[in-house]
Amino acid sequence: MKRQWLLLIGMLLLIPPLWAASPGPVQRYFQDLRTLRADFIQRVLDERSQLVQSSSGQMLMQKPGKFRWDYQKPAKQVIVADGDRIWTYDVDLAQVTVRKLDQALGSTPLALLSGAAPIEDSFTVGAVRQQDDLNWYDLTPRQPQPEFRLLRVAFKGDALVSLELEDSFGQRTRLDFQKLERNPTLDPALLKFTPPPGVDVVGDAG
């Protein structure tokens, strides 16, 4: 599930350049996107659409390469990317795992941002389709990927409301956003992480 979560984070950072050449409300939404803040519900569904796992919390994101996810339920966990490293703090285990950002997201779509080819060369963007009063767009990688086969992005009106990633086995990881704010002013301190005293730190803390 963590790998799928990282893929979704990569997608969030990927979307603006992908839509840069597309007309309409999607382009208008993402064209000047710099920051996001929202509550979220994350669900993992199996190939039969049966719920496997559910969690919730709050998220912050700032381009380029910074985000914070505070999971509140079912267990408290904090995940912070400071532009260089990803820090994962498991509160119950009193343990922090840290990895280089490029290593943690190395094979995800986020890595395409540093490539020479335009993002749209790597994906086929499907036509809009309506479902449950939402406008959904399917993004299919042009080259087969080991981690995922399809990303779906949903809007209600001109507001982003959901992201859904589907793997080759039909399992889906879906993020539904609530109280989403586009381009709010974020406290820079929230996008940095200092391990609490007394916790174990595993990995490359620099």
Peptide bond preceding 195 in cis form (omega within 30 of 0): no
Query: What's the pLDDT tens digit per position in 144-202?
Result: 777 778 878 888 887 889 988 888 888 998 889 999 998 999 999 999 999 999 999 99
Instruction: Using pLDDT thresholds of 50, 70 and 90, give the confidence band for residue 23.
Output: very low
Query: What's the pLDDT tens digit per position in 26-60?
Result: 555 656 678 889 999 999 999 898 999 899 999 99
Domains parsed from the chain with CATH numbers? 2-203 (2.50.20.10)
Say which DSSP state 109 is in. Answer: G
Q: What pLDDT is stored for residue 100 in this prediction?
A: 87
Give the integer Cα–Cα distance in Å for 66 and 137.
25
Peptide bond preceding 184 in cis form (omega within 30 of 0): no
Report the range of poorest mean pLDDT among 38-47, 64-73, 134-143, 189-198. 134-143
Q: Output the pTM of the full model.
A: 0.78
Higher pLDDT, 28 or 91: 91
- CA nearest 7: which of 86, 106, 75? 106
H or E element at residue 163: strand 159-166
Higher pLDDT, 21 or 203: 203
Measured CA distances, 105 to 20, 24, 49, 118, 201 (Å): 23, 30, 27, 19, 20
- CA nearest 57: which of 77, 37, 46, 71? 71
